[in-house]
């Protein structure tokens, strides 16, 4: 009873603040009526802290953690500020045990925290914001004014922008938490290295994808109810995952695309007899990465555009007015943007061992070295910043 009440309250508040106008408008369109949108203030980060609250309720119900007896501990878990407004989504069973132990920040934690803050700030403020303001926004705002090759480069740019924006925030949140003595799990693991859509969702927004898997997909029956039910569960899970991002049909369609792709990949795995977690190698993996990346980019078109007509305009430009001869001129005109895009994708695709080596190097730096590194990155951000403040993309969710 108490579990049902907790779920109803949490989901009820989320639905009221986030989906009231969307649902009323939907039903009005079905019945032919009219609807005037209500002025409902959306609390910042409601999607994230609602899922954290649900995580606590479900973990207690499943006896994976013991109930908290101190209301302040619960409030601290739900409102811990580094990840409050844009994730990562922290599980109760991972975070609450850390509240109960003495806080300690080791030299390794401090160095790792500084490295994550610096790298996150660089990804967000140097790469993501710059390519967004100076190229990506122009293309997406008026796709019909640009050729197909320009639209395609804009889509590639947005793929890098949203990755650097969101993973940059996650890195900074994890880094700040480390400086305060708390450990968060990683939220991104070089997702564009994925050779399948299933692998992509093991690497992209890991805290959300694992939450949907453990609390929604498995609760729906997972893969225990037969193949057809398994495919349906994947599509339903991703449909709701898309709706979680926002009360808009473009997010719903984006989620459905990924759900269908996951179901198709699961079916293909069964046909070919490949085992779960088995990775392709060599040329097969290379083509898998290329295909997966372009499918994800295709889906980003619908995620980024507010309406279908703009998405269709962009796709029409790409497939009917490509004009590859403009590419050299495009590179010359936007050389700073493409240099940053090349740098961003290079840093994304470097071996994981390189990142670990850089992290260890920062850990070994003396305190003055860490301070100088942070100052250097802040100076670089100031030099490259625009006159407009660019909020994090996931702040809207």
Q: Which residues are catalytic?
A: 245
Burial 8-38 (b: 16+ CB within 10 A, else e): eebeeebeebbeebbeebeeeeeeeeeeeee
Name the nearest CA neighbour of 334 among 165, 191, 168, 156: 156
Close Cβ partners of 18 (under 8 Å, ≥ 6 residues apart):
42, 46, 47, 246, 247
Let me know: does 242 contact 252? Beta carbons within 8 Å. yes
Q: Which two tokens stand for residue 230?
A: 């398994």
DSSP string for residues in 381-396: HHHH--SS----GGGG
d(CA 99, CA 97): 5
DSSP 248: S
Name the nearest CA neighbour of 381 among 94, 188, 117, 136: 117
Let me know: does 331 contact 338? Beta carbons within 8 Å. yes
């Amino acid at each position: 009873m108490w579990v049902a009440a907790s779920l109803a309250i949490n989901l009820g508040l989320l639905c009221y603040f986030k989906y009231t106008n969307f649902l009323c408008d939907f039903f009005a369109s079905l019945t032919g009526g009219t609807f005037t949108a209500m002025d409902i203030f959306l609390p910042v980060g409601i999607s994230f802290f609602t899922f954290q609250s649900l995580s606590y309720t479900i973990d207690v119900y499943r006896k994976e953690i013991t109930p908290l007896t101190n209301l302040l501990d619960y409030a601290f878990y739900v409102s811990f500020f580094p990840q409050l407004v844009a994730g990562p989504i922290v599980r109760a069973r991972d975070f609450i045990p850390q509240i109960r132990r003495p806080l300690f920040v080791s030299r390794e934690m401090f160095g790792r925290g500084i490295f994550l803050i610096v790298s996150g700030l660089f990804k967000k403020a140097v790469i993501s914001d710059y390519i967004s303001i100076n190229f990506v926004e122009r293309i997406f705002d008026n796709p019909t004014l640009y050729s197909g090759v320009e639209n395609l480069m804009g889509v590639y740019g947005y793929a890098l922008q949203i990755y650097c924006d969101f993973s940059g925030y996650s890195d900074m949140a994890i880094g700040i938490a480390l400086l305060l003595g708390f450990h968060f799990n990683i939220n991104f693991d070089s997702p564009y290295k994925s050779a399948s859509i299933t692998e992509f969702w093991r690497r992209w927004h890991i805290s959300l994808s694992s939450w949907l898997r453990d609390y929604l997909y498995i609760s729906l029956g997972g893969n225990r109810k037969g193949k057809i039910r398994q495919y349906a569960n994947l599509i339903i899970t991703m449909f709701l995952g898309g709706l979680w991002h926002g009360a808009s049909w473009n997010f719903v369609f984006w989620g459905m695309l990924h759900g269908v792709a996951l179901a198709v990949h699961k079916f293909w795995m069964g046909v070919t007899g490949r085992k779960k977690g088995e990775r392709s190698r060599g040329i097969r993996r290379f083509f898998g990465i290329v295909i997966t990346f372009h499918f994800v980019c295709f889906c980003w078109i619908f995620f980024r555009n507010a309406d279908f007509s703009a998405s269709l305009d962009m796709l029409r430009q790409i497939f009917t007015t490509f004009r590859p001869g403009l590419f050299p001129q495009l590179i010359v005109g936007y050389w700073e943007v493409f240099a940053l895009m090349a740098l961003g994708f290079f840093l994304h695709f470097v071996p994981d061992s390189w990142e670990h080596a850089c992290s260890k190097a920062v850990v070994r730096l003396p305190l003055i070295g860490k301070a100088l590194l942070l100052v250097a990155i802040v100076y670089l951000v100031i030099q490259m910043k625009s006159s407009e403040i660019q909020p994090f993309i996931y702040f809207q969710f």
